[in-house]
Amino acid sequence: MRVFSGIQATGEKHIGNYIGAMRNYAATQDEGDADFCIVDLHSITVDYDPQDLHDRTLDLAALLYAVGLEPDRCTLFLQSHVSGHAEAAWLLSAVTGFGQLGRMTQFKEKGEGKEFVSAGLFTYPVLMAGDILLYQTDIVPVGDDQRQHIELARDLAERFNSRYGELFKVPRGVFPEIGARIMDLQEPTNKMSTTGGTQQGTVLVLDPPDVIRRKFKTAVTDSGREVRYLPDEKPGVSNLIEIFSVATSMPIADVEAAYDGRGYGDLKGDVGEAVVELFRPVQEKYAELRPDEGELRRRLHVGAEKARETSAPTLEAMYRRMGFVRP
Ligand code: TYM
């Protein structure tokens, strides 16, 4: 079985990224051949700073190793190191409907109210479909906000297969049962995000322990004081329960039972503490790995070579099926 997932290079990584995606990369790397991609080409679709892109890319590589990706158990690489991704995006644009891209909610959200909206933001889901399809991927571990993009990738695979002959495997998104959509702690009806959310409501994987504790202590909760998991009625408390459940491996019903009659204050304090403990080993490992840029670059170089090898036959077959004369 082949596993593939991607994560943006820019933006500081938060507990939503960790719970919705990163920890599941680490968990799936032994389920089959796993490829994970830092999607640096995607990062230029919104306003960004070149130096920031450069530094954050290396930060993220160190962080992914720190959460448990192991160079000999999976392939971690930078999207821009494997030129086939940009090529696949162009080829797949032939089977992508303009109207289909216009319906992508992330495009609408990220473009809304902006003075300048790049063409790349619009075509981004085609690049993402190529990322996945080039690796003949079976499963894609992602958070809930990627559902529509995965649907598009499946659709493009099917359209390509029926127009040019069976080539792509049709991938399946895998979403965590708990924590597929972690909400902003200050605005619990909005998804946690470094671009769209509040700073105080976004818990970063690399936040110092005191900052993590404070962000949870000041989390917005709901009316009433019962600790119950009711995402529609009690979005704030339900979000804290999900985070606590993941951080402690305690089932949601047990969390509810443990806080029966105790109110929100206790829960907030305990979630903060549990998250500090959850991130402690990640932060320690990150501090060890990040300074050695030479080693990070060496690992990424090896990763890119492996990724090129895996994806090249599919890219070549795409060109041939589509009628290109090959060198
Ligand atoms: P990105 O970089 O925005 O997010 C990376 C991963 O984190 C998940 N995530 C969340 N999960 C739970 N709660 C949240 N609040 C939350 N915020 C983010 C995302 O679902 C994602 O799994 N388009 C993708 C990157 C991409 C990709 C791919 C993913 C490019 N090519 C191929 C899979 C396969 C993105 O922007 O993710």
Q: Are 5 and 36 in contact (CB under 8 A)?
A: yes
184 assigned to some structural domain = no
**pLDDT > 90? residue 147:** yes
Q: How far is the CA of 167 from the centre of ligand 1 (A)?
A: 26
Take residue 6 and report the two structure tokens written for it: 């991607």
Same domain, 311 and 237: no
pLDDT at residue 124 greater than cutoff 90: yes
Residues 175 and 255 in one domain: no
Q: Which of 24, 146, 152 to mutate to test the pocket of ligand 1 (most atoms within 8 A of CB)?
A: 146
Q: What is the DSSP string of 87-126?
A: HHHHHHGGG--HHHHHT-HHHHHHHTT-S---HHHHHHHH
Q: What CATH number has the domain bearing residue 215?
A: 1.10.240.10
Atom 26 of ligand 1 has which residue's CA nearest to it? Answer: 6
For residues 156 and 87, state if they share a domain: yes
Residue 80 lies in a domain: yes
Question: Is residue 136's pLDDT more than 90?
Answer: yes
Residues 229, 246: Cα–Cα separation, whole Å: 14
Nearest to 85 by CA among 33, 141, 50, 124: 124
Q: Report if residue 134 sits inside a domain.
A: yes
Atom of ligand 1 nearest to the CA of 127: 31
Dist. CA 5 → ligand 1 center (Å): 8
Q: How far is the CA of 194 from the centre of ligand 1 (A)?
A: 12
Contact 108, 121 (CB under 8 A): no
pLDDT of 30 > 90? The answer is no
Kindly state whether residues 68 and 138 are assigned to the same domain. yes
Per the structure, the count of domains in the chain is 2
Name residue, tokens 């990070």: 296
84 close to 134: Cβ distance less than 8 angstroms: yes
> Based on the domain organization, do 173 and 268 belong to the same domain?
no
Average pLDDT over the chain, rounded to an integer? 96
- The closest alpha carbon to 135, from 196, 77, 93, belongs to 77
Residue 204, in any domain of the structure = no
CB neighbour list of residue 208: distance below 8 Å, 6 or more residues apart: none
Q: Summarize pLDDT for 257-268 with one digit per residue, the tens.
A: 999 989 899 999
Residue 81 CA to ligand 1 center (angstroms) comes to 20
Nearest Cα residue to 185 out of 106, 112, 267, 257: 267
Overall pTM > 0.95? yes
Distance from Cα 255 to the centre of ligand 1, integer Å: 27
CA of 29 from ligand 1 middle (Å) equals 17
Residue from 39, 44, 151, 178 to probe ligand 1 pocket by mutation (most atoms less than 8 Å from CB) = 39
In a domain, 98, yes or no: yes
Instruction: Examine the domain organization and report whether 99 and 16 are in the same domain.
Output: yes
Do residue 260 and residue 278 come from a single domain? yes
Q: Is 90 exceeded by the pLDDT of residue 138? A: yes
Tokens matching residue 317: 């077959």
CA distances 327 to 40, 164, 234, 324, Å, are 29, 20, 61, 9
Q: Report residues whose beta carbon is within 6 angstroms of any ligand 1 atom.
A: 4-8, 16-17, 19-21, 39, 42, 128, 131-132, 140, 142-143, 145-146, 149, 180-182, 191-193
pLDDT tens digit string along 209-247? 999 999 999 999 988 889 999 999 999 999 999 999 999
pLDDT reported for residue 233:
94
Phi, psi of 87 (to 5 degrees): -65, -45
232 and 272 share one domain: yes
82 domain residue, yes or no: yes
Residues 223 and 96 in one domain: no
Can you tell me the distance from the alpha carbon of 188 to that of 181, in angstroms, rounded to the nearest whole number?
Answer: 11
Q: Do 227 and 154 belong together in one domain?
A: no
Q: Whose CA is nearest to atom 3 of ligand 1?
A: 8
In a domain, 185, yes or no: no
Ligand 1 center–CA 143 separation, angstroms: 6
CATH of the domain at 133: 3.40.50.620
90 CA to centre of ligand 1 in angstroms: 22
pLDDT band at 31 (very low <50, low <70, confident <90, very high): confident
Atom of ligand 1 nearest to the CA of 181: 13
What CA–CA distance (Å, rounded) separates 224 from 233? 11
pLDDT band at 164 (very low <50, low <70, confident <90, very high): very high
Asked if residue 172 is part of any domain, the answer here is: yes
Same domain membership, residue 228 and residue 166: no
> Of 179, 178, 198, which Cα lies nearest the Cα of 187?
198
What is the structure's pLDDT at 195?
A: 87
Nearest CA to ligand 1 atom 16: 16
pLDDT of residue 263: 84
Compute the average pLDDT of residues 159-181.
97
Q: In terms of residue numbers, what domain contains 224?
A: 209-287
> Is residue 134 over pLDDT 90?
yes
Task: Identify whether residues 153 and 248 lie together within a single domain.
Answer: no
* Residue with CA closest to ligand 1 atom 29: 6
Q: How many Å lie between the centroid of ligand 1 and the Cα of residue 9?
A: 11
For a mutational test of ligand 1's pocket, the pick from 12, 44, 142, i.e. the residue with the most ligand atoms closer than 8 A to its C-beta, is 142
